[in-house]
Structure 1
């Protein structure tokens, strides 16, 4: 533009008209297309969610013959993506030709005005060619800017979707100077604990829960589905913070402890077993990276997994697919127990982790665990009453409240909820 002004001031007026018009068109394109790109990202997110749900639940889909329903779900999500993508492309399709048209009109204006000046002898043909070259260079630059800004709008929409996740506040507040615990090992205190999940309405999941687990004690927790058993595990590991009350480990409020130190003291075998791609040995070593082969075999024998692992062609070096797909449910549970035991924690939590093994194997695991867990606190969460009958203490949960605490014989006499569970699983004639 500066070169054009130096060459001919009156002809450069064309540039001063064309460039602002193009800039305005690019600005309008950004503002109008941005909402469409935001909708496009949401539509992509929805179609990805649909695909993930289908792939993770493909066996359920097969079992219930719901292929047609899943196809319709995918087609609906795909149709939404197509509609918003077309709308976004239409905006670009409208503005891009207008930018090119404005530039070409500028070139036509230069030829028309310049032609008159050449005829009158006020300009030379070479100057007009120079003006056209300047206009072409400006056209190329502005088209590149338009392309970059379009990419910027798309990136901005994507960044906002990512920002929604990254900007979520962590519900767990980590203190700067945590308190160390040295005295007792494995002691747990729940003191008037209340808990509600964020955004949940209605009554709290846990209401006024108070109990103590002494060091080296085996504590059973039993209750109906939805009574809050697994929530206790999540709170103890500080996956969530209590709404009211406090939880203490070794006489220290877990909110005042270093969260890594807390979780190093605890090993959990969750209800839903997660194994990773890799060998069985690698999965067990998740609990202790530098574990020796002797240690791995020792904990595997306690978990009743050594025998079936040894029978595999590759033994402990058998490669597992994603999620351990080449193992049965019971085998995965036993590998997961071995992974927890090799950590040698102060607190061992077994969250209904023998539900997929037979009663005989469960009894063998319980017997081996009883010997192994003499020096650690063991919390056994179970649906089956036989899993907790031999515990030093049994906590009965009912609708988020403690319905009874005591040994098996004591609860049969004084706790109606426990008696109901016993009758339904064992039989009333045994009481």
Structure 2
């Protein structure tokens, strides 16, 4: 993995480290109503057209070549009809004792017709080539914008959605959008041109036959409108349930070992079966409705053939039209109903396009974090003094979980945050990193409100080692270098030695060049934790955040890591989240949290003397050990 790629992953990486994906193996995944209609079908298509404005020059040429190819194709049957008339007149002439057929004239007509069809095919090839390029460039652009957007969306967006649902925007929805757009755009142009062109050619042959043929058109229009009305909601439902199925597959695949360990294969299959049935039902209805359109339209078209043959024969007998005109008109009837059928198919494609593009644009229009501020404070020269000034915070504004918390942390101090599971310890870290902003009060670094920093620069001050390790597919060297992208080889090795991981890496095939797989499960959990610690050591930050950093290593390694951490934390402000209270007895300040609020603060001796909640937590560990 390149250095540039690693830089682009920065914010997203920290977000994943701060909040591990929630595996929901037993509960329902979906939160979308079945059969939901597009919220704004017309508005979404307008957005799509505006988005394609960047390619307007190419689109103009697509329209020109599409119309040109269609026009040349439409003119062909009438000219070919003249050849039929010439053959008929020749036969009649021969029977009457005349000169018979004029093969030279027939040959010229056929060559002229063939030339028209060749030009039409060439125009169709060019417009197809151009439209494919436009659709692929647009899908590339959309994927790029979504990938960039992910790093600018606040954490609470991902807290409320599954990974599969977000990934579906990048995969299924954009693929559907690109494919359906490629088909529907050119089909819409050629079908519209065909209807207009064929109508004109039919009028030139026989206005009466044209009027009679048009009487079947209201049947087609009524049928198309009914299908469009009922199919849109099913196409939208199909896309959304496809996202849910992808979410389930992604979650279960990532946690397949947990599924097997808890013997939940049956439950997972039942849950998947339920969602898959919803997808099947929605997809079946949408495909069935679009599928019945074609045979019914063909039946309506066949009625037109019958009328044309009867009326055409009558008019030819009266010498109002020529025999070849009947053949031409018959082809035009087919070509008149065919683009109507194609427009009906395009209407279904547009439903699919609108459903997919609506979900993509919804994501791209999500509210973003403020990445930059006017006249931002520089992080240069800051020491790491942190102050919580009457902080109030709640994930929902109507439910505040941190009430009026204040404390000052001098640079180089070690701050421990303790409390039972779910007490809100990690919430404090999210506030420090500005993954969330406080509802009231302020968090200050060296007297500067953290909201006055650019988010990216603020986070450069922090080094993180979290309980949920995050390593990417790449070499061990690149994973350690992620903490400092311009680090030298010697700096990487020194950081690995400080984290007691150097010797272990040397035993691996390839050493620092060994590649970790996608899940990084070709090394143990403890070894992964050691690599994240080495990464934090290499970053050399002003402020350290350690969230149960040694929870995944054995006791002997924990002692070694603790020594390395003690060395690392000297001269740096450190926030340590811990469950094993014996590891933070030397902390300068201990914040005790319960039910999302800070109930006690002080050093170890002070809190033990208070004989409060901290003392209860501390003593309970020894009681469990004794029992």
Determine which of 117, 142, 147 is the counterpart of 2:340: 142
Distance in 2 between the 1:424 and 1:86 partners? 58
What's the TM-score once normalised by structure 1's chain length? 0.92
Please name the residue that 1:419 is paired with: 615
Determine which of 301, 308, 311 is the counterpart of 1:103: 301
Tell me the secondary structure at the aligned position of residue 397 of structure 1.
strand
1:287 is aligned to 2:509 = no
Please name the residue that 2:544 is paired with: 348
Q: Which has the higher strand share?
A: 1
Determine which of 550, 562, 569 is the counterpart of 1:373: 569
Contact 1:222 1:388 in 2 (8 A): no
Distance in 1 between the 2:583 and 2:298 partners? 77
Please name the residue that 2:70 is paired with: none
Shift of 1:174: 4.9
Please name the residue that 2:494 is paired with: 298
Please name the residue that 1:407 is paired with: 603
Which deviates more, 62-71 or 24-33?
24-33
1:14-413 alignment, distance < 5 Å: 14-170=212-368, 174-182=372-380, 184-198=382-396, 203-413=399-609
Distance in 1 between the 2:597 and 2:287 partners? 57
Tell me the secondary structure at the aligned position of residue 170 of structure 1.
coil
Distance 1:286 1:233, change over 3 A: same
Structure 2 unaligned regions, length at least 5: 1-198
Which deviates more, 296-305 or 115-124?
115-124
Distance 1:15 1:267, change over 3 A: farther
Distance in 2 between the 1:172 and 1:208 partners? 25
Tell me the secondary structure at the aligned position of residue 519 of structure 2.
helix
Question: 1:279-315 deviations in whole A, cap 9, x for unaligned?
Answer: 1111111111121121111111222212212222322
Please name the residue that 1:6 is paired with: 204
Aligned length: 428
Contact 2:476 2:516 in 1 (8 A): yes
Tell me the secondary structure at the aligned position of residue 307 of structure 1.
helix
Contact 2:205 2:321 in 1 (8 A): no
Contact 1:284 1:335 in 2 (8 A): yes
Question: 1:223-267 deviations in whole A, cap 9, x for unaligned?
Answer: 111111111111111111112221112221111210110111111
Distance in 2 between the 1:429 and 1:342 partners? 36
Tell me the secondary structure at the aligned position of residue 49 of structure 1.
helix
RMSD of aligned residue pairs (Cα, Å): 2.3
Tell me the secondary structure at the aligned position of residue 375 of structure 1.
coil
Contact 1:393 1:405 in 2 (8 A): yes
Question: 1:337-367 deviations in whole A, cap 9, x for unaligned?
Answer: 1112211111110011111123333232222
Question: 1:154-173 deviations in whole A, cap 9, x for unaligned?
Answer: 12112223334333323657
Which deviates more, 15-24 or 240-249?
15-24
Shift of 1:427: 5.5
Structure 1 unaligned regions, length at least 5: none
Question: 1:116-173 deviations in whole A, cap 9, x for unaligned?
Answer: 2223332221221121122222233333333333222112112223334333323657
Which deviates more, 419-428 or 385-394?
419-428
Please name the residue that 2:88 is paired with: none
Q: Which has the higher helix share?
A: 2
Tell me the secondary structure at the aligned position of residue 324 of structure 1.
coil
Distance in 2 between the 1:382 and 1:403 partners? 16
Distance in 1 between the 2:215 and 2:537 partners? 77
Tell me the secondary structure at the aligned position of residue 322 of structure 1.
coil
Tell me the secondary structure at the aligned position of residue 313 of structure 2.
helix
